[in-house]
Amino acid sequence: MSKKRSKKDFEIKIVDAPEISDAFESEGDEEVIEEIVEIPAVDVLEEEQGESEIADETKGLLELQRILLEFESTTRNKDRANLIDKLTDYLRYKETVSALKDIAINDKYPLCRAKAVSFLSEFMRDKKVKDLVIRKLRDSSQTVRLWAVWSLRGIIEEEDVQEVLIRQLRHYEKSKRIKLWLVRSLSDKIENPSVIDIFLQSLKKRPGKEMRKLILYYILQIQGNQDISYFLSTYVHEENDKEIRLEIVKKLLEMDNSDSIYALQKLKRNERNQEIITLLT
């Protein structure tokens, strides 16, 4: 036997609710219905997304652990280097950064150390990573040192990094290829007097043609520097490459000061290159 329900049982109390006949004709009727039936659809969706993200993170960590375990157990250097490449998909995990730091410091295979340093370039704002990469400028492998320079160039605006690279170029680096990279990196701060000084000092040591051309390319772009004017006025008589000497002559003509005028007059008496003679006439 069914229980009798009173009219009161069916009442839905809504403040200022419109008449039923108006609810489907007046504006805002959908809002009224939503107030009666509150379904937290957004909350449900966010909860599902959160669970999905947690699942993805867990899956990612498990895959990272698998790669690291395989790296530790693999003996072939080529295979180990290839496994490091796979770590790029997991750089968001602190475990990855920790593993890369360990590889960069302790791995015996130069290519593995080099790859680790290159991937650590993403974290150069971390002081510990930065200090590690600076130490790698003294690595026995040229490839590792090259990637250390490349990584440090990303934070070349920091004065201590400029000082480190200047010191490396002045005192320690022997590789011609890496010296070129040091010059390219320091050229980003060519307005620094210390950078100009190391460039001019490097030219005095008579490096190879490629190095001289690169340094002069950056030096010749500087305007109104008296030290550079004096240096070029002397150096133009020592440069035996016609192409480089021609560019210096063009710069001296542009400077048009006492140092450059004297240097060009002296050069005119001894110059054999017809193109330069034409410029000086």
User: What integer is the mean pLDDT of 243-258?
Assistant: 93
Give the range among 17-21, 59-63, 152-156, 248-252 with minimum mean pLDDT.
Answer: 17-21
Q: What was the pLDDT predicted at 24?
A: 38
- Which residue do the tokens 């959160």 mark? 50
Please write the tens of the pLDDT for every residue from 103-134. 999 999 999 999 999 999 999 999 999 999 99
Q: In whole angstroms, what is the distance from residue 177 CA to residue 125 CA?
A: 26
Q: What are phi and psi of 107, to 5 degrees?
A: -65, 140
CB atoms within 10 A of CB 134: 17
Name the pLDDT band for 224 (thresholds 50, 70, 90).
confident
As a whole number, mean pLDDT of residues 159-186 equals: 97
Residue 59's pLDDT is: 87
Confidence of residue 169 (pLDDT cuts 50, 70, 90): very high
Residue ranges per domain, the chain? 58-155, 158-219, 220-281
pLDDT tens per residue, range 130-147: 999 999 999 999 999 999
The confidence band for 51, taking pLDDT boundaries of 50, 70 and 90, is low
- CB proximity list for 252: less than 8 A, separation 6 or greater: 229, 232, 233, 236, 260, 263, 264
pLDDT greater than 90 at residue 12 = no
CA distance 212 to 236: 12
For the stretch 197-208, pLDDT in tens is: 999 999 999 999
The structural architecture, per CATH, of the domain 58-155 is Alpha Horseshoe (1.25)
Of 161, 171, 216, 168, give the one whose Cα is nearest residue 192: 161
* Residue 119: C-alpha distances to residues 112, 115, 145, 238, 265 (Å): 11, 6, 14, 43, 54
Which pTM value belongs to this model?
Answer: 0.76
pLDDT of residue 101: 97
